[in-house]
Copies of this chain bind each other. A is one copy, B any other.
Amino acid sequence: CKVHKICVLPGDGIGPEIMEVATQALSVAGGKEGETFEYKQCLIGGAAIDATGKPLPDETLEVAKQSNAVLLAAIGGYKWDTLPSAQRPERGLLAIRAGLNAFANLRPAIVPRQLADSSPLKRELVEGVDILIVRELVGGIYFGQPRGFGTNEKGERIGYNTDVYSEPEVERIARVAFEAARKRGKRLCSVEKSNVLEVSQLWKEVVIRVGAEYPDVELSHMYIDNAAMQLLRNPKYFDVIVTGNIFGDILSDEASMLAGSLGLLPSASISGSGPGIYEPVHGSAPDIAGKDLANPLAMVLSAAMMCRYDLAIPKVADRLEAAVNAVLDAGLRTADIYKAGTPNTRLVKCSEMGAELMKHL
């Protein structure tokens, strides 16, 4: 038992409301296991822009680096949408990922049995789906140089970006994915576009090489366009998916819709050495901010992932996850996951969901 230093970034929109529930739940669950948390709250995103002019103040990154893990709620909102893109809230997100070298984004796409009917896909296709998407998060076209605006040889104005991966970058993300697959269904699908792109050919080559060290994991390869199809045609085919930054952005959002709602999906962005970033998949939902309508469960499940990965206190994670299951079994539903007419369910506010959750901890 020790004190875990958590950098808390509530961010914008519904962020503060759901963070409130998550830190409370974490403290209670931790208490039962003799674990203590010390929270340092910092600014990021729109809130940071308003207060300091920057989406990621230096102080926030400093505190984050000195913590054991970072809990991030959500950033962005209409208010900052008209700023030049280099000063927008999203930049804070990209900057903290890069600043902490959080290169591996783990996004489970699980269809909770209590909500299988809210998937846009037919129930028989999604029931039991349990996919882990491992997305490279600090490389590829998001960060590749050169990038910018210029003119081509015809004198026409152009915009350009570079999609680039180095061998060590692919190697480390491949290792994270193989290790994860080894602990799960032992199947890994690497997604790229090697029939067209050199960056993907390097990707595939390195993944195959690393795969030789994991003979117990079945490795397959799929083009991104086909993966976007197969995720709908037969989602149960997938166990772990590993892919680059932009393909991972697209695929993980597509996969999250299998669950019908983003309201229960957590994510972890880990670095292997320093603190990781734990955040829900959903956004800041500015339209419902401050109205006590938000769903805090994905934030709570993100805190659970934090306990499991960075803090290595799996019993606290178990408690948090069990409590989420219990409130869902009890039929409690925030507006985003409520479907009028479903028997034994009840529409609740964010604060009520939080209060019920505490009872089950």
* Chain A positions near chain B (C-beta within 8 angstroms): 85, 88, 90, 94, 120-122, 125, 141-142, 144, 147-149, 152, 154, 156-168, 193-203, 224-226, 228-229, 231-233, 246-247, 249-254, 256-257
Contacts and interface: CB of A to CB of B under 8 A. Distances in A.
A225 B251 CA distance: 8
* Highest count of chain B CB atoms <10 Å: which of A154, A160, A193: A160
Copies in the complex: 2
Most buried by B among A157, A162, A202, A252: A162
A201 B249 CA distance: 18
B200 A229 contact: no
A151 to B, nearest CB: 9
Given A164-B160, A195-B88, A249 B225 contact: yes
Contact of A142 (B196, B246, B247, B252): B196
A159 B233 CA distance: 31
Contacts of A201: 85, 159
Nearest to A200: B159
A231 to B, nearest CB: 8
Contacts of A231: 254
Contact of A159 (B85, B199, B256): B199
Contacts of A149: 198, 202
A12 to B, nearest CB: 15
Nearest to A146: B162
A196 B148 CA distance: 11
A170 to B, nearest CB: 9
B159 A246 contact: no
A240 B39 CA distance: 48
Given A88-B195, A121-B232, A231-B254, 11 more contacts: A85-B194, A120-B122, A141-B163, A148-B198, A152-B164, A158-B164, A159-B198, A159-B200, A161-B197, A163-B163, A225-B249
B257 A254 contact: no
Contacts of A154: 166
Ranked 3 nearest A-B pairs via Cβ: A159-B202, A160-B164, A225-B253
A249 B164 CA distance: 20
Contact of A121 (B90, B120, B142, B229): B120
Nearest to A225: B253
Contacts of A121: 120-122, 232
Contacts of A160: 144, 162-165, 198-199
A231 B231 CA distance: 13
Nearest to A151: B166
Contacts of A122: 120-122
B162 A162 contact: yes
Q: Which of A156, A163, A257 has the most CB of B within 10 A?
A: A163
Contact of A152 (B125, B166, B193, B224): B166
